[in-house]
Structure 1
């Protein structure tokens, strides 16, 4: 009798595993957790983790990019130049829209006399870790354009690295301090930062696993900087994804890749055309 019950029970379990879910339950399977990254021109990004928390990097109000006000829970500023440090472009979505200073991470401090110094940051916010690596804005140890901080944000099991206005290739010590990288935001436009060829060298130094997001380069209507062509030269075409119609990149947090993909985002999400008037 015991054997019969075991056999019957096992058969029921097997049949249960083969029966498709009831139609009313379909679509309720747990969705894969994703991360979304949005670009707002120059070096201004918003990273949204799988829980909906938003991190804004290097906010600006450059007219050519539409002066976008962006929702964020935390702001990250790599250095105190106006095209990277306009916290007023951040909206918390709360009654008091201004972001508390405790939620603003500034990698470089500056006195009224213009003296700069790095602020060493290594802080946990819940399960997220935010830290800095000291670098320069030029090849002259900051004598020309000052200091710059690389920010490394560890969230959702991924490592997001924003290089700010990096002005030189990295030292071995800086590469070691940054560590492994999944998504890399790298300036490529030259003039005020590394150029395309130097950016290629930095990518080889850091070896990002999933994505490379070029930033701080010239676009139509804002051509103070060189475009991304020099950086893209030599990158295999199957490893380049151009998304001019959107500023968003969404991907599962458990994504796998044999080599990183270079993603060129548009600086704003294209709005659908208006509906034709009713006759």
Structure 2
């Protein structure tokens, strides 16, 4: 009996140590509440000051709408990410990281190019399990928060993901093919989002009223529409009359940094949408 008890305690201790090691290996998120990140916090190291122009280039993230729900995100170190990647809408060069959601074939591909370093599915191949990604590549940290999607008249649990890209102090979120409003638990997992990529299709994901509530709850500084143009986009924009500034991008590439985030929340319609 004593031997059995000791073995059980040892096994529990090993399990706890293993879980703790995995938790400590996970990067600390700068976008989640600081209370959640404290056990794994990474303290800043102070470096000699760099010239202003060089510092600005290290802070700038370059975002471009490629088509449908695909945005490219280029980090200051040149890591290229493509969201909801189907292989049809492509950046000018092969991305280093692609994220995918399987709501429709326009949001994923099962045959991505061989040169892509990381292919991140927003779903798990094991039914009922959540996809879980914590990828660090260069100066980018990419993680996900699972949500459900409509499927065959019901809902497929954890079939979609909100992907979050932590780059140059910014928290950038892509809602993917979001089919339902988020719970308090989702918002806690997501944390702060400075830039939000949101589908504006008028009902293929969610209606404009439901989607606008999600957007307002996230309180992002910069909203980038995607997925649909025309009347659905116009109805989405109308939900924010007076609450958010509405602007239209003058260039194909949107350059974002912590320094140039709008003080009043802004919906910026990218060129071509």
Q: TM-score when scaled to structure 1?
A: 0.68
1:55 to 1:237, Cα distance in 2 relative to 1, 3 A: same
Structure with bigger gyration radius: 1
Preserved contact between residue 74 and residue 99 of structure 1 (Cα < 8 Å): yes
* Equivalenced residues, count: 219
Preserved contact between residue 222 and residue 262 of structure 2 (Cα < 8 Å): no
Give 2:269's aligned residue.
Answer: 264
2:148 corresponds to 1:148: no
Where does structure 1 lack aligned partners over 5 or more consecutive residues?
1-26, 91-96, 220-225, 269-279
1:198-241, CA deviations, whole angstroms, 9 ceiling, x for partnerless residues? 22101111111x3101111145xxxxxx5211111133387111
2:185 corresponds to 1:173: yes
How far is the alpha carbon of 1:184 from its aligned partner? 0.3
How far is the alpha carbon of 1:60 from its aligned partner? 3.0
2:97 corresponds to 1:74: yes
- Distance in 1 (alpha carbons) for counterparts of 2:226 and 2:171: 18
How far is the alpha carbon of 1:123 from its aligned partner? 3.0
User: CA-atom RMSD, angstroms?
Assistant: 3.1
1:149 to 1:188, Cα distance in 2 relative to 1, 3 A: same
For residues 60-209 of structure 1, what are the structure 2 equivalents within 5 Å?
60=86, 67-71=89-93, 72-79=95-102, 81-86=104-109, 98-100=115-117, 103-110=118-125, 117-138=129-150, 143=155, 147-208=159-220
- Distance in 1 (alpha carbons) for counterparts of 2:151 and 2:107: 20
2:66 to 22, 26, 40: 40
2:268 corresponds to 1:251: no
1:116 to 1:173, Cα distance in 2 relative to 1, 3 A: closer
Where does structure 2 lack aligned partners over 5 or more consecutive residues?
1-50
- Distance in 1 (alpha carbons) for counterparts of 2:132 and 2:157: 19
Give 1:215's aligned residue.
Answer: 226
1:237 to 1:191, Cα distance in 2 relative to 1, 3 A: closer
Comparing both structures, which one devotes a greater share of its residues to helix?
2
1:147-167, CA deviations, whole angstroms, 9 ceiling, x for partnerless residues? 211111111111010000001
Partner secondary structure for residue 180 of structure 2: coil
- Distance in 2 (alpha carbons) for counterparts of 1:88 and 1:69: 16
How far is the alpha carbon of 1:255 from its aligned partner? 2.6
Preserved contact between residue 88 and residue 98 of structure 1 (Cα < 8 Å): no
Preserved contact between residue 75 and residue 87 of structure 1 (Cα < 8 Å): no
Deviates more, 1:150-159 or 1:115-124: 115-124
Partner secondary structure for residue 257 of structure 1: coil
Partner secondary structure for residue 40 of structure 1: strand
Deviates more, 1:196-205 or 1:179-188: 196-205
1:53 to 79, 99, 112: 79
1:236 to 226, 238, 242: 242
- Distance in 2 (alpha carbons) for counterparts of 1:216 and 1:29: 35
Give 2:18's aligned residue.
Answer: none
